[in-house]
Structure 1
Amino acid sequence: MADRDFDLLPLLDYIEPSSVTYQEWVDVGMALKHEGYSAADWDSWSQSDSRYKEGECFKKWESFQREGLGSITGATITQMAKERGWTPKGNSNGPSHELDWDSTIGDYKIVDKNWVESQEIREPFYWEPGRELLRYLETLFESTDYVGYVTETYPIETDKGIIYKPTAGAYDRTAGELIQALQNAGNDIGAVFGDPKEEAGAWIRFNPVDSKGVKNSNVTEFRYALVESDSMELGKQYALFKELELPIATLVHSGKKSLHAIVKVDARDYQEYRKRVDYIYNICKKNGLDIDTQNRNPSRLSRMPGVTRAGRKQFLIDTNIGKANYEEWYQWIEDLNDDLPDPETLAEEWDNLPELAPELIKGVLRQGHKMLIAGPSKAGKSFALIELSIAIAEGRKWIDWECEQGRVLYVNLELDRPSALHRFKDVYNAMGIAPNNIKNIDIWNLRGKTVPMDKLAPKLIRRSLKKNYQAVIIDPIYKVLTGDENSADQMAHFTNQFDKVATELGCSVIYCHHHSKGSQGGKKSMDRASGSGVFARDPDALIDLVELELTDELIKMRTNKATAKVYQEALQEKALDYYQQHVSLDDLESRAEMQKHFEKAITDIMVKKPYLDKVQAVKKATETSTGWRVEGTLREFAKFPPVNMWFSYPVHSVDQSGVLADIQLEDSTNGKNSPWKKNFEKKETKEDKAKKVETAIAVLDDGTDPVTLDSLIDYFSNEEKSVSEKTIRRWIKNNGKFDIVNKEIVPKNSKNEG
């Protein structure tokens, strides 16, 4: 075969001769001739078609005029193969060429053929043809397998003289029947298989067939593949087979210039067979074995041991050499090409340490490292990840930390595309940030198209290699989770995929996960994430969100403060003179006072309406806000103090007031209703109760309706225990700052209760 940059013969495996029209069959022949192949190549491919006629390919070949082939070239075969599922190397969109992650690593150079010494091949001194073939059959076949073999040939005239081509042969007897017949016939193989022509020798099919034909579709089990090279000295072929530890079931001398290695493949189906054979051939080629790629077909013929060919023996050299099976051999090859770095001597690097990776999130995460955000449902984890995407894209602060500006890939596994795009815009608007660098954010929408992480990782890497992302954010990971999340070894394999993405792309990988069930307050931040501890211990930075229990007083105070701000804004915009003359600093802290100023200074209902609408919106947002404490476990940096923040849909904001800092995290053994606290907690003093009633009055005072005894009773009572009017009166009396007038609470200096 002439040297070529691209070999067309493997593509013929994808084109079943029986599936093409006569013209397409002719086109294949013309294309092969145009590209410098031989008529034997065309003939070999054509033989598996029932329409095949001996010698027709060679006669037709002579009628093809190279200069008259026109547009029929190798591209014709390429296109036909593509239409039938072939995918060019480098394009892994085709399912039959989807390589595993590990299959893409390493150059697979195991041996250097120039340094391999030839091994002696000894021809049998005592020639026992029957014994040779018996051993071959017993090694490759089960007794019930149907075996295909050929002893009949037909001559073909070529430029090099007459050659003999095999017919379809026989395929209707089982291995058990053939073995029994051979045992009875002794060394008379011809009595069992028929006498082959001395110049041609004989052939046998190494995979079992269904007794109905000899096409690929007739193969019943894809156990073996043929590996043959006729361009290297036989002793070196033998040595390379051994050096490569190929799982060879039988190794046969062809009687001429090649060895036929029947290699264990044990594929489940034809698709897996092709992948495994491609892998074997690739390894052989990279290590100096120029493999005849025409032998890819599982129905291929190989040389039958125990016969002679032009005076030379076709004999069995050995059986079961190399690794025990394909899986063991594959793992051995991969282990030799693991791409792991060599150990380093610390002394050599001590005075020339490498630079640390730059900080992507200041004091939290370096570029190229991994970060996990863990929290319960409704913590707004997805919103936090979108906020982080925006912060990196714009070079802004995220929660309490500055971010280095860069490009981000947000892998959306949960939302449909319109919802995801709208959510980004909503968060941008709520954060009050102009989208000046929105080009730095790419979104990969995969809802409904997700695959396990070990399959997603190579696809993600392939699409991202030239994008120069600083961060890849995956939301959420449960969509791509593989294995049992409580299994340490399975989760270690799962999280290793994030390492591969980070290493190959040189970017940070950021993802979120949910908390385990139950109270989390009494746990360390790294013990709250659901599943195996691998989740929390694998990333370089763990950001953990725990919800804070907000009291009614706190919610009311925050609502009042927020609405007071709206009234202040209205006065500054619509009644600035009044604001400057009549509003005191104390008034700014009181929603009731600011509402009075608002009503007095702005009388036009149309002017007031947008602010009143805003008051309602602010009240709703504040009342539905949740409080969160952010804690962390960091590998590269010192632990940061807890950060308290609010989540008001759709964004988080750091609590600047400090009111959340005083809230203690509670758990099942430390909650306010825990038995030990009921029995041992310190009882409230008179002063405590007096202070408590004063706080309640401030909370209930909305500036419109007076605070009453009944409202205080409702405030302090609950399903388990009610508070009496007498108790409320006693608390107010002990407080000393209020009077009760007609069951209404008024500050001192008003009339006493009548």
Structure 2
Amino acid sequence: MEIKMDLIPLLEYIDPAYLNYQEWVNVGMALKHEGYTAADWDNWSSSDPRHKPGECFQKWTTFEGSGSPVTGATITQLAKDNGWAPKGNREDHELDWNDEISGKDDYVVIDKNWIEGMEIREPATWNPVQELTRYLETLFDVSENVGYVTSTWETEDGKHLPTKGNYDRTAGELIQALGQSNGDLGAVFGDYNPEAGAWIRFNPLDGKGVKNDNVTEFKYALVESDTMDLEKQNAIVRELELPIAALVFSGKKSIHAIVKVDAANYDEYRKRVDYLYNICNKNGLNIDNQNRNPSRLSRMPGVERNGKKQFLIDTNIGKSNWDDWHEWIEGINDDLPDPESLTDFWDDMPNLSPPLIEGLLRQGHKLLMAGPSKAGKSFALIALSIAIAEGKKWINWECTKGKVLYVNLELDRASALHRFKDVYAALGWEPDNLANIDVWNLRGKSVPLDKLAPKLIRRAAKENYIAVIIDPIYKVLTGDENSADQMAHFTNQFDKIATELGCGVIYCHHHSKGSQGSKKSMDRASGSGVFARDPDALIDLTELELTEDLMKQEENKVACAIYQKYFEKYNFNYLDERISQDDLLSVIAMGDHATKAIPDHIAAINEEMTTAIKQTRIRTAWRVEGTLREYPSFDPVNMWFQYPIHKVDEVGSLKDIEPEGETPPWQKKGKGKGTKKTAAERKIERLQALELAYEACSIDEEITVESIAEFMGVTEKTVRRRIKEHKHFDVHEGIVTQKL
């Protein structure tokens, strides 16, 4: 069979570890259909941890072909989805300075098929000195050195190419000399070859050379296209509103647009030129990529080239500067919907999305779970996956039954799968709907969310998931989590997943450092406030401080329950006739009854009781609070976390327990609310508040007086006074540090 295209290089773009079973098989079928060998499939598959020696060769023999064969197009599409582009859209080598950066079909301002050409007119009166003077005055300050070339050398095929030229005179010197030249450009710049014309560098130089390193200001970039009609070139650069300082006719088949990019340095210049060229290419202007360099030569106006004039077409057209143009181009082609009149829908409102978690979250919406380390967030999300799959209750809310994808970014594959089984067992639920749960194990293979989201969407598009759970997001976080704009871009990826798949997106994040009890639930998640404002539902877990008295009460309940269980099993009549309601709540009384009525089981009771009390002792207590957009707020829910599940406190044992850090120190010490504090106690509280604020702000690289003042709700002057009062802190130029 003839191989039309070499598919092996395309396989380098496809990671078999990211494919599901059917996709992996499809690659094998496509390779066989296109004439490749089982060894080719096996070599590619070997990078997948799931790979089993001999499996590819065994399956290869079962691929018999069909009326609708899987072809090489399957491999081509998978490669495209992962960044490959066919020849013509890419260079077949690693990207370098001359490569074109292309992207999706946005930023299209004009339809190149309908653009009308704009005529280019020669100056009515030819005045070379005036042409060149105007050019220099437009582009340069009088003190800036200008590079120019009038001498050439000839190649073997008769082509005239520019020499290094001159670069040691300022624009002011050249303008003055032109004014005194009596119209003789050659007297100022040197005689040029009329067959070749002359050139000028559009960025100022340092007077020492003509390389990129000699450019002193990265003011301008050259936009030139010599593959299309001149009038269309003229029309497109104007239609694009490019911030053009000077527009020059080259004397041949192109116009040179000297575009204001105003870059601060070479790196920014490269980025802006890439962006500029990308916009031009997408709008039909085929840019000459060789013109990217800031030291590049452009055509000098005021001279002739092979019988045609090089002249200024226009100056200072389009947007006034780069920033204005960039803002305009970014906003002109948004894909936002048009405004709607409320009268059109008042009597026929669209249906609300059905609930995913009743009273908490709708399908297609986003939920964030926030909590500190060791809160059991992953176990809670696994329990949520199971509740959705089985259509049962999660914590305090009923779940709609459906298919769910759990994206595991933190646990190794075996641990993740075992956890699902452990949680099922702890919940006491039969695994009747295991087919509703898919687990995507990506530990060690996770990529930033903006790269992961398209891969996730592609894999999930045909599965009809009603929920996607991503645990945890710090593994795919892109950018600074304290930067609002960067986090807005990050959280937009959740919107893409929810919109493309029509499912709920649920993810978890960690708390900021420091005590959380005194904060509102939406202020506890680490990083930018975008995390709190973005999701449609936010639920937050804070730990409750358990007292010794409460723990003893819980141990008593557990012990009494074990006694009651043994009586129900081995001597129910005695339980029914002799044990009062008060005795059922007393360990001592139940122990006495057990010694009399079920003495043969005392050893078993004690053994079970020891284990149960130990488990009770290691339980932690948590309060769930939330901020909801689509539903009324809910009362806080108290629950126990006893590995591996959370159980709601149905009897109210935790209702009066305060979260960590919420109980004031004077209440913990047993003082009454009316007790007046001493000066020493007030000082201690001030210093403790400063320490708390310092710890809470320590997520930033530098802890400033301003950030501490904002956290404490006091003035910066107050913060400085407290730092001075505290012996272990120092402040210098607004930065707070801890003394050793």
Same fold, judged at TM 0.5 (above) = yes
- Residue 650 of structure 2 corresponds to residue 659 of structure 1: no
Q: 1:230 to 1:520 in 2, by over 3 A?
A: same
Q: 1:229 to 1:76 in 2, by over 3 A?
A: closer
Query: Counterparts of 2:246 and 2:355 in 1: how far apart (Å)?
Result: 58
Query: Counterparts of 1:420 and 1:269 in 2: how far apart (Å)?
Result: 48
Residue matched to 1:35:
none
Query: Counterparts of 1:594 and 1:560 in 2: how far apart (Å)?
Result: 11
* Aligned residues of 1:148 and 1:214 also touching (Cα < 8 A): no
Q: 1:147 to 1:475 in 2, by over 3 A?
A: same
Residue matched to 1:335:
331
Query: Counterparts of 2:631 and 2:298 in 1: how far apart (Å)?
Result: 64
Residue matched to 2:452:
460
1:615 aligned partner, one-letter code:
M
1:107 CA drift (Å): 2.8
Residue matched to 1:307:
303
Deviations 1:351-377 (A, max 9, x none): 543332232212210122222334566
1:440-459 mapped onto 2 (5 Å cutoff): 440-445=438-443, 456-459=448-451
1:437 CA drift (Å): 4.6
Residue matched to 1:511:
508
User: Secondary structure, in 3 states, of the residue corresponding to 2:654?
Assistant: helix
Query: Counterparts of 2:309 and 2:99 in 1: how far apart (Å)?
Result: 40
Query: Counterparts of 2:283 and 2:616 in 1: how far apart (Å)?
Result: 69
User: Secondary structure, in 3 states, of the residue corresponding to 1:407?
Assistant: strand
Query: Counterparts of 1:613 and 1:296 in 2: how far apart (Å)?
Result: 80
Counterpart of 2:629 (choices 635, 651, 669) is 635
* Aligned residues of 1:629 and 1:645 also touching (Cα < 8 A): yes
Residue matched to 1:262:
258
- Residue 226 of structure 2 corresponds to residue 234 of structure 1: no
Counterpart of 1:408 (choices 405, 415, 437) is 405
1:307 CA drift (Å): 0.7
1:147 CA drift (Å): 2.0
1:260 CA drift (Å): 0.9
- Residue 639 of structure 2 corresponds to residue 645 of structure 1: yes
Residue matched to 1:92:
none
Query: Counterparts of 1:505 and 1:209 in 2: how far apart (Å)?
Result: 54
Q: 1:520 to 1:155 in 2, by over 3 A?
A: closer
Per the normalisation by structure 2, the TM-score is: 0.64
Residue matched to 2:202:
206
Residue matched to 1:129:
128
Residue matched to 2:22:
none
* Aligned residues of 2:369 and 2:508 also touching (Cα < 8 A): yes
Counterpart of 1:82 (choices 65, 82, 93) is 93
Larger Rg belongs to: 1
Deviations 1:99-156 (A, max 9, x none): 9xxx86x632323456555445342233332332233344445645462535314255
1:245 aligned partner, one-letter code:
E
Counterpart of 2:472 (choices 471, 475, 486) is 475
* Aligned residues of 2:377 and 2:508 also touching (Cα < 8 A): no
1:637 aligned partner, one-letter code:
Y
1:261 CA drift (Å): 0.7
Residue matched to 2:359:
363
1:505 CA drift (Å): 5.1
Query: Counterparts of 1:88 and 1:602 in 2: how far apart (Å)?
Result: 87
User: Secondary structure, in 3 states, of the residue corresponding to 1:199?
Assistant: coil
Q: 1:472 to 1:191 in 2, by over 3 A?
A: farther
Per the normalisation by structure 1, the TM-score is: 0.63
Residue matched to 1:173:
168
Q: 1:664 to 1:151 in 2, by over 3 A?
A: closer
Q: 1:472 to 1:519 in 2, by over 3 A?
A: closer
Q: 1:484 to 1:289 in 2, by over 3 A?
A: closer
Query: Counterparts of 2:476 and 2:346 in 1: how far apart (Å)?
Result: 44
Q: How many pairs were matched up? A: 574
1:499 CA drift (Å): 4.2
Residue matched to 1:245:
241
- Residue 278 of structure 2 corresponds to residue 282 of structure 1: yes
Deviations 1:385-434 (A, max 9, x none): 44334444555432122333333354647x78888777667656544567
Q: 1:149 to 1:426 in 2, by over 3 A?
A: farther
1:264 CA drift (Å): 2.5
- Name the stretch that deviates more: 168-177 or 337-346: 168-177
Query: Counterparts of 1:598 and 1:147 in 2: how far apart (Å)?
Result: 104
Residue matched to 1:619:
613
Q: 1:215 to 1:550 in 2, by over 3 A?
A: closer
Q: 1:331 to 1:520 in 2, by over 3 A?
A: same
* Aligned residues of 1:154 and 1:166 also touching (Cα < 8 A): yes
- Report percent identity of matched pairs: 54
User: Secondary structure, in 3 states, of the residue corresponding to 1:241?
Assistant: helix
Structure 1, gaps ≥5 residues long: 1-73, 90-96, 158-162, 451-455, 681-754
Query: Counterparts of 2:528 and 2:297 in 1: how far apart (Å)?
Result: 52
Query: Counterparts of 1:81 and 1:214 in 2: how far apart (Å)?
Result: 31
* Aligned residues of 1:516 and 1:531 also touching (Cα < 8 A): no
1:227 CA drift (Å): 1.8
1:244 CA drift (Å): 0.9
Query: Counterparts of 1:388 and 1:165 in 2: how far apart (Å)?
Result: 74
1:458 aligned partner, one-letter code:
D
Query: Counterparts of 1:237 and 1:118 in 2: how far apart (Å)?
Result: 8
Q: 1:119 to 1:518 in 2, by over 3 A?
A: same
User: Secondary structure, in 3 states, of the residue corresponding to 1:111?
Assistant: coil
Query: Counterparts of 2:243 and 2:334 in 1: how far apart (Å)?
Result: 20
Deviations 1:459-479 (A, max 9, x none): 232222213362243535699
